[in-house]
Amino acid sequence: MRDGGRLARAVGRFALAASAVAMLAGCSLVADAFRPGGVVELPSSPEPITEAGVRQPSELLVGDCVGDFGPDGIVDVVPVMPCSDPHLAEAFHEFDLGTTSLPSDDELFPMVAAECDAAFESFVGVEWSLSSLNWYYFAPTVESWDEVDDRRVLCMVFDPAGLTTGTLAGAGPGAADASAWVVVSFEGDEQFDLGLMDALLPTELEADSALNRAGAGRIDGNDIGDHGYELYFVGDDADEMWEILGPVFAEAPVRWTGVELRDGLEDPSPTVIVRD
């Protein structure tokens, strides 16, 4: 179910899908949490971006656009440019954490998902589960929380297919309904171990690379729920994609439990493959 929580749509490992990270530095492999680090002081009134340069994440405003900042989870500075130039992501929503202490990653994600999902629908014009776009976020680090009273979370929208020019406001569903999808699930009876996401990361990267080499598709994102984890791949032919992905996931350190081949993201009757 793609309506479950995402472990960081940007904080999101595959919040920046692998193909997008290939643009970044190699694949959404963006660490499990983009948290601005090395902040000395929070600016009182940052200026709108009118030319290319770099800024600390704490200096970004809603409406600003950023470029490739690499795969690290702690981000000191990010490249910025006017949104009229090709860019990776656009800041579309911000909010302050109303907690007395910095939440853990597991505590933080539900707060962020609720805010960013709701703002995404308002900004893009369609709910996240029906869009081909994705989001990630910047959040405080321990240092910025303690030293400069940093409480802000910034939601960033991007297109996993590549760089965009102009705003994504009102972009709508994009290619989500017209494309073929493969959804690979890892389900269990107990609480899903988030550490398994890290174990699966090399497999996810290889899966995305295999699809890219064949020109068959790309990874789109991931979902995490109480008892499972799902990976989403999009392309033109679901059967062709699974022929490529099957051997890759056969070597994964975590066994997949189910696969859906969908004609459109919301296919009411997908082909279901269940592992013995």
Q: What is the pLDDT of residue 96?
A: 94
Q: Residue 134: pLDDT band by 50, 70, 90 thresholds? A: confident
18-52 per-position pLDDT tens digit: 223 322 222 222 333 333 333 334 444 567 788 99
Q: Would you kindly state where each structural domain of the chain is located, as residue ranges?
A: 13-158, 180-274
Q: What is the pLDDT of residue 70?
A: 64
Name the β-bridge partners of 35: 74
Exposure string of 14-44, with b = 16+ CB inside 10 Å and e = fewer, is: bbbbbbbbbbbebbbbbbbbbbbbebeebee
Q: What is the CA radius of gyration of the chain?
A: 18
- CB-count burial class (<10 Å; 0-12, 13-18, 19+) for 106: exposed
66-100 per-position pLDDT tens digit: 998 665 566 778 899 999 999 999 999 999 999 99
pTM for the complete prediction?
A: 0.61
Q: 74-75 and 35-36: which strand pairing?
A: parallel
Topology at the third CATH level for domain 180-274: Alpha-Beta Plaits (3.30.70)
More confident residue, 190 or 184: 184
- Give SS3 for 275: coil
